[in-house]
Structure 1
Amino acid sequence: MSDTPPPADDGALDELEQDLTERSAELLLPSRGKNSIPRVVSLIVLIGVLIFTAVLFFRVMALFVVPLFLAGVLVVVFEPVFKWFLRKLNHRTPLAALATTVVILASVFAPCALLTWRAYAEIHHVLGDPIWTTADPATPDGAPPDGEAEPGHFLGVDFDHLREGSPQHRFAAAYEALFRRPLNNDEINRLRQDVMEQLRSRAPKSVLVGLKAIGAFGLGLVVMTVSVYFFFADGPAMVKTLMHLSPLDNAYESELLERFAEVSRAVVLATVLAAIVQGTLAGLGYWLAITFTGAEGWPIFLLTMLTMILAMVPFVGAAAGWVVVSVGLFLQGHTGAAVALAVYGAGIVSTADNVVKPLVLHGQSNLHPLLALLSVLGGVTVLGPIGILVGPMLVAFLQALLTMLRKELDLLEEETSP
């Protein structure tokens, strides 16, 4: 008799292999079976706590959304400056971030300080005489040199006298033209008393509102400045952490970040170029109107720079500059020049904004000119001044997200197709 064991049954081996596979699956996937319900409940609770915490987080951070957003835009725009400092400072990131932050603050506040000083100098020059009167400076008794002046065509004002006088006389005559009473020492004292009474009645509320606005602005400025520094210093690490926590694919996250940088640069460039174009056109109009009429006391350069800055402010625009100059020329008796400047400002200067911005946005961010214009106007209307940045960015993000969705649907269709 042989001691050789009988051959194993193939069916028995298959059953044994299947049993081992099922046991291994149960060991590797403990969530199946009786543990599946507790894990689903745990996941639901985790999602609920996450949503609740996220809502509280965004409510706490809502006050700082705009400063953080502006800090991100500034970091994107001044990234070449940061890289330049990084090379010059032997890749010492904290020093490069600090130097770039100082450059950003200087580039924002230095022009404002310069224009404020120039405006103060001009106002001090015009209002330097403590005694304003409508009388001609050559006649101390207040009578015109040639006797009683004939009234002008606008509210009884002698516009020849208005044109020939000093800035104080022109202001006084303009006041008389508007309110039909002379601006002398008694009138100035009466106005001073009225102003003081208004200040006494409204001072507490106005001071409270002003302090609140100044505090909010100061806090936002501090948050933005600190955020700019840390975005430069720790930006790559922050982005890497957010990309790791986000459920989106890294390729999609990188694409959204690229779109953010692209649109930020495009919007800032479009705003600055549009302001430069509008300010230059307005300055040309000021020079022509003031030169050909022979009007005096108009600081053309200061008016041009102010118009350029106002052109960057939503809801204000360059119109705040040329309207004031047109009214001033009209009060000086240069009616034709005032009307011509108003038509030129409305038809050329203010219209340039609606031409330059869409063209620059189209060239820099691949947005259609019409869509770029509507995104800027809609963003400013709905969100206020910050909408000039958010509007085009939302359109660009929507375009990028739709492209991502199209890619995912195409991949899903390829995977499910036989």
Structure 2
Amino acid sequence: MTDDSSPNPRGGSPRRTPPIPFLVLAGVVVAVTILFYQVIRPLALPLFLAAVIALLAHPLHARLTDRLGGRASLSAGIITLLILLVLVGPLGTAVGMAVSELRSVVEHFREGLAAGEDWRVLVAQDLDPRLADAIGRVERLIPLDADELREKALTIGAEGGEVLYRRSLGLLGSLPGLVLGLVMFLIALFFFLRDGSQMILGWEELTPMNAEHDRLIRGEFARVCRGVVLGTLAAAVAQGVLLGLGLFAIDLIAGTGIGRWTFLLSLLTVAFSMVPFLGAAAIWAPTALLMFSEGHPAAAVVLAVYGAVVVSLSDNLVKVLVIGETAGMHPLLVFVSVFGGIQLVGFLGIFVGPIVAAVLFTLLRILRREIVSLNRPASGRGLDRPEAG
């Protein structure tokens, strides 16, 4: 029978060899963990978002629970319902109206072009008449063959209608998955809010990691998540203010008449800046087209350049600075991790990239601390020097 605690030939504490059953158990745990990840992978995104939202809403949940006499379930249900209304209400209404309007316009263009109507008449009917005037100016500057243009417009209209139809069918096909993801998000959010503390205690009992180390990693996760949210809000406000200042200056110099809409356009910029894949360009680009159609081409070009170079690029700069300041990370590291995360997983890379970077450096600090503590007895306590801060 082999003695696992045989003395070390070089002296010191006895060396233990991991028994075979332990290695088998560790291998089974790794295999089942991989299998479990494959099971939850389709729902990883809703679960991750629910964890982030629950983390951010935890202070509100705690205060509301105190107001409701300790009824954590009721508090979690109220917050979940509010988040559902915020997510589904405006988004569903806007998407439905946009798809319906776009499809009606495409169908009307297809029918009108097939019947031989002038495309400019169709533009004047379905769109703003000022856009038709702008197109007329372009046509006077650049000679266009009306018959050739009509053929191309008819082809584009037909293809656009078919693409829209296919995309609509694809959206309907993915609707069950979207609904399932939303339901999973809401269920997970409710339980994360209600039972978050118990889940953390249960995780600490299951994980082989030191409890102090686990708390350090969770603290980094929470800090980065708060930094991303604060950075997104700060970047949205900054873009709204910058666009408002730009519109005010352009109206003051060129007299475009857009000045009376500056405050409203600034508020819309703040809102759209937080929408993925739209951003502030959803406001300044149509505003520049409107200026061009109303006979202010120079002001339109200035606004387009200002919006692309100053307003939209300020989003990345402000996010990097705020996330770095909140999470205690160097701005270059934040910049690389954010854009690398976006390239890897899309919009969620704004969260995933900084979280992975912060957790990695936290693990490296923990590993260094453990290595130092292991080497300290061998080197002698009398020779130890305090670590540099």
TM range (shorter): 0.7 to 0.9
1:64 pairs with 2:51:
no
- Which residue number corresponds to residue 29 of structure 2? 50
User: Aligned partner of 2:238: which letter?
Assistant: V
How far apart are 1:415 and its partner, in Å? 2.6
| 1:102 counterpart = 2:81 | yes
Asked whether the equivalents of residues 377 and 388 of structure 1 are also in contact (C-alpha less than 8 Å), the reply is: yes
Tell me, in whole angstroms, the C-alpha distance in 2 between the residues paired with 1:197 and 1:115.
24
1:5-404 alignment, distance < 5 Å: 40-109=19-88, 112=91, 168-177=128-137, 195=157, 199=161, 203=165, 205-289=166-250, 292-295=254-257, 303-404=265-366
8 A Cα contact 2:134 2:292, kept in partner: no
| Structure (1 or 2) with the greater helix fraction | 2
Report the CA distance shift for 1:231/1:393 in structure 2 as closer, same or farther (over 3 A).
same
1:146 maps to none
**TM-score, normalising length: structure 1:** 0.70
Contact 1:64 1:223 in 2 (8 A): yes
Contact 1:167 1:297 in 2 (8 A): no
Q: Are 2:361 and 1:411 equivalent residues in the alignment?
A: no
CA deviation profile, 1:306-352 (whole Å, cap 9, x unmatched): 43233234554323432232233223321111122123213321232
Q: 1:214 Cα shift?
A: 2.9
Q: What is the distance in 1 between the residues matched to 2:259 and 2:325? A: 42
Q: Match for 2:39: what amino acid?
A: V
Distance 1:114 1:363, change over 3 A: farther
Post-superposition offset of 1:53: 1.6
Amino acid in the other structure paired with 2:337:
S
Aligned-partner residue type, residue 52 of structure 2: V
Q: Which range moves more in the overlay, 301-310 or 99-108?
A: 301-310
CA-based RMSD: 3.8
Over 3 Å counting, the alpha-carbon distance change for 1:197 and 1:338 in structure 2 is closer
One-letter identity of the residue aligned with 1:364: T
CA shift in 2, pair 1:313/1:391, >3 Å:
farther
Structure 1 unaligned segments of length 5 or more: list them: 1-25, 34-38, 131-156
TM-score (ref. length: structure 2) = 0.75
Q: CA deviation at 1:221?
A: 1.6
- 1:249-300 CA distance string (max 9 Å, x none): 0000011111111111111010111012112322343455467544579965
Q: Deviations over 1:95-132 (max 9, x none)?
A: 11111212333444566578779999xx99xx9xx9xx
Go from structure 1 to structure 2 and tell me whether the alpha carbon gap of 1:248 and 1:215 turns closer, same or farther (over 3 Å shift). Answer: same
Deviation, structure 1 residue 391 = 1.1
> 1:301 offset after TM fit, Å?
5.6
CA contact under 8 A between 2:131 and 2:293: conserved in structure 1?
A: no
Question: Quick one: structure 1 residues 335 and 197, their matched pair in 2 at CA, closer, same or farther if it must change by over 3 Å?
Answer: closer
The change in CA–CA distance for 1:191 and 1:305 in structure 2 (over 3 A counts) is farther
Residues 391, 249 of structure 1: CA spacing in aligned structure 2 closer, same or farther, 3 A cutoff? same
Q: Which amino acid aligns with 2:221?
A: F
The alpha-carbon distance between structure 1 residues 309 and 119, as it changes in their structure 2 partners (threshold 3 A), is farther
The alpha carbon displacement at 1:167 in A equals 7.2
- Report how many residues are paired: 341
| Residues 246 and 178 of structure 1: CA distance in aligned 2, closer, same or farther (over 3 Å) | farther
Contact 2:256 2:296 in 1 (8 A): no
Equivalent residues of 1:85, 1:100 under 8 A apart:
no
What is the CA–CA distance in structure 2 between the aligned matches of 1:307 and 1:46, rounded to whole Å? Answer: 55
Structure 2, unaligned runs of 5 or more: 7-17, 109-119, 381-389
Question: 2:247, 2:258 within 8 Å by CA — same for their partners in 1?
Answer: no
What is the percentage of aligned positions where both structures have the same residue? Answer: 34
1:30 Cα deviation from its structure 2 partner: 9.3
Contact map agreement 1:85 1:99 (CA 8 A) in 2 = no
Larger radius of gyration: 1
